[in-house]
Amino acid sequence: MAAKLLSSIIFFKLSGLTCHFSISFFLVYNWQFIFYTTLCIYIFFYTLYS
């Protein structure tokens, strides 16, 4: 019983860690995507109107 409880706790901790890493990776990737998209749009308009 104790071993089963311990393994389930470890499983929950690991899945929580994986979830945390995927969310933080998504946020970082999303930030880079938004940054580069904004940069491309800015360069496009800068070359268009210069």
pLDDT string in tens for the chain (50-residue length): 788 888 888 888 877 777 778 878 888 888 888 888 899 999 999 998 87
Using CA atoms, how far residue 36 sits from 18, 19, 46, in Å, is 27, 26, 15
Q: According to the model, what pLDDT value does residue 24 have?
A: 80
Residue 17: per-residue pLDDT: 78
3-state secondary structure of 45: helix
Question: What was the pLDDT predicted at 42?
Answer: 93
Report if pTM > 0.75: no
Q: How confident is the model at residue 15, as a pLDDT? A: 79
| Domain limits, the chain | 1-50
